[in-house]
Amino acid sequence: MEVRRSRRRKSTVSAYRDGQRTIVAIPARFTRAQEREWVQRMLDRLADKERRRRPSDDELLERATDLATKYLGGRAHPTSVRWAANQDKRWGSCTLIDGSIRISTRVQGMPGWVLDYVLLHELAHLLHAGHGPGFWALLESYPRTERARGFLEGVAYGRDQAGDAPSDTESDDADSDDTDVDDADSDDALSDDALSDDAETALAPAGAVSA
Ligand SMILES: [Zn+2]
């Protein structure tokens, strides 16, 4: 772990992985006590973000059940949700007879809102086979459907261009790598922040978190 003090930083802190290293950038004006506090906070947030991007199978099922309740009126009932490494051409698949869902391990490490879309897509298939208007209507209440579809198309395009090489790039992270210290001053603000994917993406620059 490396702490970098920057004179250009006034009130932002960021933490990211660069290969094997973890770098925390802080304003040069920080005292040693502030440095200790913020380095620990940012390392915790980074670890938390990485955990949430690679949930266990049990956590996947819990997440899918929550999504079904929130966006599908609780009508879809998955019996199991598992990561699967053998889904080369698909992001996810489901089996109607037993209500099981498999999500490609290629989705691991993608932003949480993309994983949520892939889960919702398969959950919606438990209610509606095929990709007709009735199917897409089920996904309308999820606000990031279009954005997630674009994200996945971009990943697939990049993979095609690269000749099937796995992509570690998280293009969504490109917009910002800063967390505003002053906004996140209270613990409440920090934990609220940590729940949203927008805050997550604020923690790492493009490509810094590799799979
Ligand atoms: Zn589908």
Band (209; pLDDT cuts 50, 70, 90): very low
pLDDT at residue 187 tops 70: no
CATH number for the domain including 69? Answer: 3.30.2010.10
Centre of ligand 1 to C-alpha 122, Å, is: 6
126 — phi, psi (to 5°)?
A: -65, -20
Q: Which of 51-65, 120-134, 195-209 has the lowest mean pLDDT?
A: 195-209
Beta-strand ranges (E) seen in the chain are 2-6, 12-18, 21-27, 80-84, 92-95, 100-104, 179-180
106 CA to centre of ligand 1 in angstroms:
16
Residues 64 and 125 in one domain: yes
Are residues 72 and 40 part of one domain?
no
How many structural domains comprise the chain?
Answer: 2
**Distance between CA atoms of 111 and 127, rounded to whole angstroms?**
25
Q: Ligand 1: distance of its center to the CA of 154 in Å?
A: 17
The pLDDT of residue 198 is 30
Q: How many Å lie between the centroid of ligand 1 and the Cα of residue 130? A: 6
Find the range with the poorest average confidence among 68-77, 105-114, 200-209. 200-209
Q: Which residues, listed in sequence order, are joined to residue 129 by a DSSP beta bridge?
A: none
**pLDDT tens, residue by residue, 6-52:** 998 888 999 998 888 999 999 999 999 999 999 999 999 998 888 87
Res 178 pLDDT > 50: no
Domain identity same for 9 and 81: no
Between 188 and 26, the higher pLDDT residue: 26
Distance 7 CA to ligand 1 centre (A): 50
Cα 87 to averaged position of ligand 1 atoms, centre (Å) = 13
- Are 67 and 143 within one domain? yes
> Considering the domain boundaries, does residue 96 fall inside one?
yes
Higher pLDDT, 208 or 16: 16
What are the strands of the beta sheet with 100-104, ordered from one edge?
80-84, 100-104, 92-95
Q: Are residues 154 and 87 in the same domain?
A: yes
CA of 191 to the centre of ligand 1 (A): 34
C-alpha dihedral (128, 131, 135, 136), degrees to nearest 10 = 160
Pairing of strands 80-84, 100-104: parallel
The boundaries of the domain holding residue 43 are 2-53+173-201
The 10s digit of each residue's pLDDT in 65-105 is 999 999 999 999 999 999 999 877 899 999 999 999 999 99
Q: Give residue 211 CA to ligand 1 midpoint distance, Å.
A: 25
CA–centroid distance, residue 150 to ligand 1 (Å): 15
Ligand 1 centroid to Cα of residue 135, in Å, is 9
- Ligand 1 centroid – CA 128 distance (Å): 9
Q: pLDDT tens-digit profile of 115-164? A: 999 999 999 999 998 999 999 999 999 999 999 999 999 999 998 888 75
Let me know if residue 179 belongs to a domain.
yes
Q: Which of 73, 72, 157, 165 is CA-nearest to residue 117?
A: 72
Q: Is residue 167 part of a domain?
A: no
Rounded distance, CA 120 to CA 39, Å?
Answer: 36
CA 36 to centroid of ligand 1, rounded, Å: 47
pLDDT at 155: 93
